[in-house]
Amino acid sequence: MSDNREKFLLTASALMEKQGYCGTGLNEILEKSGAPKGSLYYYFPDGKEQIASEVALRAGKIISGRIQERTRDQPEAGKAIHEFLYTVALRMEETEFHTGSTITMVAMESVAQSQRINQACREAYGMIIDAFKGVLLNRGMEEAKAVGIAEMIVAAVEGGIMLSRTYQSADYLRRVADHIRQMLDSKIN
Amino acid sequence: MSDNREKFLLTASALMEKQGYCGTGLNEILEKSGAPKGSLYYYFPDGKEQIASEVALRAGKIISGRIQERTRDQPEAGKAIHEFLYTVALRMEETEFHTGSTITMVAMESVAQSQRINQACREAYGMIIDAFKGVLLNRGMEEAKAVGIAEMIVAAVEGGIMLSRTYQSADYLRRVADHIRQMLDSKIN
DNA sequence: GTCTATACGGTGATAGAC
DNA sequence: GTCTATCACCGTATAGAC
């Protein structure tokens, strides 16, 4: 829990979110973090692979945490998730669309690169799916149905983020959010 | 339209689909394609950037073409798209999940890398969205509605492919396909 | 915990001969 | 059209001093 370790991981997250795993060099992370060069392999003895794994897990924790927090006060599932996704869209605009896809960036490359990173990405996505599932369960949806719908939400949202990133317009994600809300409202039957 | 140029582009497509833009080296493409080393910058004077752009555009053409062909004989939109997506799922299983995401792989990295590649990815996604839109229009859906739904389909499918890739299970994509069919059938009202 | 130095292979790209 | 040689730079990782 050292300060320099934390600084390093934070910078690595930002850079990999923007450029991906292969596109981000250790030297670049070192530079931008301002962390001491000598301590890299002290904190991360397994090198880049370990760093990327921790970046993915960290993102999974943060995002699932945000989902829980920001949906807490809204009793309707559709409205709660819709509001959350709109804040994500806003954040994408504020960060020049270099945000909202840490896990995706690392996950896509990991399949051909590293078993360890791939496993971390699975766990990270698992946390997010579980978070959405929790929102649905708390509003009275039955377990079996909630898992499937939570997966659908994650798929649609990740795709929407990807389109928004490519076209540099958060409206793709917003339309996905609108559709999800509409779907959830109709599923209440 | 030389043979060696074609060989080269084909190999580049396969490798970038698997490993992404930064993760794929020109030397690797050269080796695996068997194309002559000396002709790389003769066919692609703008280097890697040009290659990736052509890879993305090529993928857009191929995929949109497949959508048109394989949905032609099925009069119901929901069923047609569902069947198409199931063939994609099958193909993912057959290729160890290194398939179905050429544009996505290149697109995610391109935003921070190259304006030119990014533009090519927009056009490529445009072709795919148009292809799905065409399927819906041909079955009688009105224009304005069709664009939005086509975008939703692409978002959900891309997200589903990404989850399938990460978890090495085509069932994520299949569940997305099931959901899309259900959605389209209900939209007929 | 942090530093410096360094090893070693790889990267995209270019020049000039044939 | 293709080849070879070569460029300058970058990548990750390690060793050993402090």
Say whether A113 and B19 touch across the interface (CB within 8 A): yes
Model confidence band, residue A161 (pLDDT cutoffs 50, 70, 90): very high
Between the CA atoms of B142, B146, B148 and B149, what dihedral angle is there, to the nearest 10 degrees? Answer: 130
Task: Specify the pLDDT at position A121.
Answer: 98
What tokens appear for A85 in the block? Answer: 């996704």
A47-71 and A3-19 are packed helices; what angle lies between their axes, rounded to 10 degrees?
A: 80
pLDDT per residue as tens digits for the range B42-63: 999 999 999 999 999 999 999 9
- For A35-90, give the secondary structure using H, E and C: CCHHHHHHHCCCHHHHHHHHHHHHHHHHHHHHHHHHHCCCCCHHHHHHHHHHHHHH
Task: Specify the pLDDT at position B187.
Answer: 80
Give the range of the structural domain holding residue A125, as residue numbers without chain letter. 49-188
Q: Calculate the average pLDDT of chain B.
A: 97
Q: Say if CB A107 and CB B166 are below 8 A apart.
A: yes
In a domain, B76, yes or no: yes
The CATH number of residue A82's host domain is 1.10.357.10
Task: Specify the pLDDT at position B125.
Answer: 98
- The tally of CA atoms less than 13 A away on the side-chain side of residue B32 is 14
Model confidence band, residue A153 (pLDDT cutoffs 50, 70, 90): very high
- The tally of CA atoms less than 13 A away on the side-chain side of residue B104 is 30
A58 has pLDDT over 80: yes
pLDDT per residue as tens digits for the range B157-180: 999 999 999 999 999 999 999 999
CB contacts under 8 A, A 139-178 vs B, are 148, 151-152, 154-160, 162-163, 165-168, 172, 175-176
What tokens appear for A145 in the block? Answer: 């149905």
Mean predicted confidence (pLDDT) in A145-155: 98
In a domain, B34, yes or no: no
What is the DSSP code (8-state) at residue B39? G
In a domain, A59, yes or no: yes
B35 has pLDDT over 60: yes
- Residues 62-91 of chain A within 7 A of strand D, judged by CB, are none
Task: Specify the pLDDT at position A188.
Answer: 67
Mean predicted confidence (pLDDT) in A59-69: 98
What's the total number of domains in chain B? 1
Mean predicted confidence (pLDDT) in A117-139: 98
Calpha distance A158→A155 (Å, rounded): 5
A189 has pLDDT over 60: no
In a domain, B44, yes or no: no
In a domain, A159, yes or no: yes
With distances taken from each CA to the C1' atom of nucleotide D13, the closest residue turns out to be A47
Task: Specify the pLDDT at position B188.
Answer: 67
3-state helix, strand, coil in chain B (%, to 5): 80, 0, 20
In a domain, A43, yes or no: no
Task: Specify the pLDDT at position B31.
Answer: 96
| Å: B38 CA to C18 C1' | 12
CA dihedral over B115, B18, A173, B132, signed as positive or negative: positive
Say whether B23 and A109 touch across the interface (CB within 8 A): yes
Task: Specify the pLDDT at position A187.
Answer: 80
Calpha distance B66→B81 (Å, rounded): 11
3-state helix, strand, coil in chain A (%, to 5): 80, 0, 20
DSSP A82-113: HHHHHHHHHHHHHTTT--S-HHHHHHHHHTTT
Model confidence band, residue A1 (pLDDT cutoffs 50, 70, 90): low
Model confidence band, residue A117 (pLDDT cutoffs 50, 70, 90): very high
What is the DSSP code (8-state) at residue B67? H
With distances taken from each CA to the C1' atom of nucleotide C13, the closest residue turns out to be B47
Task: Specify the pLDDT at position A2.
Answer: 86
In a domain, A35, yes or no: no
In a domain, B95, yes or no: yes
Task: Specify the pLDDT at position B183.
Answer: 97
Mean predicted confidence (pLDDT) in A111-127: 98
